[in-house]
Structure 1
Amino acid sequence: MVGDCMRVKVLSIVVLVLVLLCIAPSVVYGEEVLKVKDAYGEVVEIKVPVKSIVTLAPGIAEAIWFLGAEDELVGVTRFCNWPSELVELIKVGEVKVIGGIVDPNIEEIIALKPDLVIATTMTPRDVVAKLRELGVKVLVLPHPTSIEDIVDQIRLIARITGRVEYGNKLCGVLEKLCGVLSNVTSERPRVRVYFELWYGPIWTVGGANYMNDVIELAGGVNIFGDTNTAYVSTSDEEVIKRNPEVIVLCRGMGYRFTPRDVVERPGWGNIDAVKGLRVYVLEGPALDALYRYPSPRVVLAALYLLAYFHPELTCDVYARLIRELVGATFNATVLGEKVTSLRQEVERIKEVYSGKVSELEKQLGELRTRLEKEVKIREELQKEAQFWQLLAIVMVVVLVLLVVVALARRRRS
């Protein structure tokens, strides 16, 4: 009887152990094996924490830096230009530049022998396939459809680098920033916004895009937010029909159109944004912040847009954000430094953009004045041309009459 009880206990313990093994993460020699389905449906098995990483997108490198895992970075693209600490690591050769996002140097990547390459869908699929053929483990992050997706990607990178605690705290900071912005802008009416990524043909931001969230966070509503795609190709007529109150031109990656170009487009003069001189350009650090997913800086892009959408709220929001960031050190040295960098970036944005809106409005006002003068000159020239045309017609008619009279007299004689 006692023997049977012992057998039952032993069997129960064995079953319990087997169940725990089934539900627990895979472990190989003390390392957790993380299984992640990437943007292309490929299940990538990653032994974490990863010790050496090559990134094929600057936003991923920034996220790794924010998590305090820059020591694991061995290769980045030539587009990594922030923060200054990461740029310095590149300058001294501790982190190698391995080419671009779409044209990375495969030989240099292989020479670095990374445990993992992290890319986005911006990197061509054939490049990813080539790396995998050569035995390089590649994880391709999908294009985020929301700010929540970006936060999830930061948490994933935190898990990959063994910085789960920092990742949770950093995401907590971002959620606080979003909360401050959301609370302030929710008290104001939302402005209709058109985001121009390209013209000829027109490409803009759709509803299934994290940039749509950034627009809403800044107190705007994307006029193409009702679509279910990340990007939308549309027409001049459709933009005019949807009548945005604010137009934002994203000047990067070859886009060089200006507010003047927009004002001069046929029919665009009837748009409220053009009538109200609210055509703005997003470029430099502001555009970098917007495009650098999954970097925490994406949230700061909303600050730039806030200056365009609701300039009257800007000072109050900056003050609140800086207060939040000053108190968000968590007594963690590494994260404290990163949060301080975020605060410094907010202060820099405040300094740079405090007079930006009035300056742009002044420039647009001058542009409108010049255009009005040009219109008046054209109207005067047109009137003058019409006068001379009419005079020419009268002269021709008179000449014809004189010829007719002369012929009539000749016949009589």
Structure 2
Amino acid sequence: MKFTLTALTAAMMATTAPAQTTVQSCDRQVTFDAPPKAAISNDVNLTEMMLVLGLADHMVGYTGISGWKTLDVEMREGVAQLPELSAKYPTKEVLIGADADFYFAGWNYGMKVGGEVTPETLDPFGIKVYELTESCIHIGEKSAASMDDMYADLLNLGAIFDVGDKAAELVAGYKADLESFTATLAPLEAAPRVFVYDSGDDAPFTAGRYAMPNALIEAAGGTNIMNDFEKSWATVGWEAIVDRNPEVIVIVNYGDVTAAQKREFMTSNPAFADIDAVKNDRFVTLEYVEATPGPRNIKAVKTLAAAFRGE
């Protein structure tokens, strides 16, 4: 009888024990015994991924937004119950002090290679890290940025927090929306040459082949003039931009310098007078949260597609 009870108890324990979940995070596999209960996200786009999955109740705060960007009405409502723990990149002490058990960030999205906040430095404190897929190029090799980068992050977050059905539903909806939209687009005689102007006067900070705008531009029917630039977000010389003569300029709107000011800088500078986009006044603005991986990428593709077609 004693043996029977022991076996039954073991069977019950086996059926009720939480299942482990393992996801790929850049070059690491990360295993979770249970969904995190004290998560922190860095940056506005990563935070929005958490919110669309309904994970605010699993979070103890967010970081890295007010130091550079502002929250729109939708985002303010979503994080109203949460504190911003650091205006810019958090220190290790900030994350530990919040009793965090999970940090959703990326390389140059809250972490720096060789910095004090990395998966390795946080592991001894029980803080697991999931890295933004787009950012993995900073620590290894990956293919050019694609919409699949954003989809993968949502699906992996869904698995980590045990909301896989919700994540799968969202991703399926995004894919269907994008597919139906692109199917109705008027064809272009040729893909317009597009320059992404993030920031910088002396030298522009722009999107190379591994940054999300590369994928957004292609999905909308254009060609990123820096698609052979083996970088994610990085600085180039103005000479390269002038030589490649973009037909459309995409301005990323955030920070102290407004989109209008960036546009004025380009249109008033004699060095850019012969650029087709400047001569023809073909500028389009994307908000930071649209130009970086996140739920608003589909809207960004629609905005770009309209601009490429003169709408």
- The number of equivalent residue pairs is 277
| Residue 19 (structure 2) aligns with | 32
Q: Aligned partners of 1:201 and 1:183: how far apart in 2?
A: 37
- Equivalent positions of 1:161-172 (< 5 A) are 161-172=161-172
Deviation at 1:205, TM superposition (A): 1.4
Q: Aligned partners of 2:206 and 2:74: how far apart in 1?
A: 34
Change (3 A) 1:88 1:263: closer
1:134 partner amino acid: F
Deviation at 1:164, TM superposition (A): 0.9
Are residues 1:46 and 2:32 paired? yes
Please say if residues 197 and 255 of structure 1, whose CA atoms lie closer than 8 Å, have aligned partners that are also in contact: no
1:223 partner amino acid: I
Change (3 A) 1:245 1:28: farther
Are residues 1:196 and 2:197 paired? yes
Change (3 A) 1:171 1:226: same
1:193 partner amino acid: V
Deviation at 1:31, TM superposition (A): 1.9
User: Quick one: which of 70, 83, 87 aligns to 1:96?
Assistant: 83
User: Quick one: which of 71, 74, 96 aligns to 1:110?
Assistant: 96
2:269 partner amino acid: R
Q: Aligned partners of 1:85 and 1:227: how far apart in 2?
A: 34
Change (3 A) 1:172 1:116: same
Q: Aligned partners of 2:85 and 2:153: how far apart in 1?
A: 23
Deviation at 1:172, TM superposition (A): 0.6
After superposition, the C-alpha distances for 1:136-156 in whole angstroms (9 at most, x for unaligned) are: 222333325211111011100
1:113 partner amino acid: D
1:73 partner amino acid: M
Change (3 A) 1:43 1:244: same
Q: Aligned partners of 1:261 and 1:184: how far apart in 2?
A: 35
| Residue 119 (structure 1) aligns with | 105
Instruction: Single out whichever of 169-178 and 200-209 deviates more from structure 2.
Output: 200-209
- Equivalent positions of 1:174-189 (< 5 A) are 174-185=174-185, 187-189=187-189
Please say if residues 134 and 210 of structure 2, whose CA atoms lie closer than 8 Å, have aligned partners that are also in contact: no
Q: Aligned partners of 2:82 and 2:205: how far apart in 1?
A: 35
Q: Aligned partners of 1:156 and 1:275: how far apart in 2?
A: 44
Which structure 1 segments of 5+ residues have no match?
1-26, 313-413
Change (3 A) 1:36 1:166: closer
Change (3 A) 1:178 1:198: same
Q: Aligned partners of 2:268 and 2:71: how far apart in 1?
A: 36
Q: Aligned partners of 1:112 and 1:233: how far apart in 2?
A: 35
Output the TM-score relative to the length of structure 1: 0.60
Deviation at 1:273, TM superposition (A): 1.2
Deviation at 1:133, TM superposition (A): 4.1
SS of alignment partner, residue 187 of structure 1? coil
SS of alignment partner, residue 20 of structure 2? strand
Identity %: 23
- Equivalent positions of 1:63-142 (< 5 A) are 63-77=49-63, 79=65, 84=73, 87-88=76-77, 90-91=79-80, 94-102=81-89, 104=90, 106-121=92-107, 122-123=109-110, 124=112, 125-128=115-118, 129-142=120-133
Change (3 A) 1:219 1:136: same
- Equivalent positions of 1:352-363 (< 5 A) are none
Q: Aligned partners of 2:263 and 2:301: how far apart in 1?
A: 21
Deviation at 1:100, TM superposition (A): 3.3
Which structure 2 segments of 5+ residues have no match?
1-13, 136-144
Deviation at 1:42, TM superposition (A): 4.3
Q: If each structure's helix is expressed as a fraction of its own residues, which one has the higher value? A: 1
Are residues 1:214 and 2:204 paired? no
Q: Aligned partners of 2:35 and 2:238: how far apart in 1?
A: 50
Deviation at 1:210, TM superposition (A): 2.0
Change (3 A) 1:84 1:201: closer
| Residue 56 (structure 1) aligns with | 42
Change (3 A) 1:230 1:181: farther
1:222 partner amino acid: N
The CA RMSD measured in Å over matched residues stands at 2.8
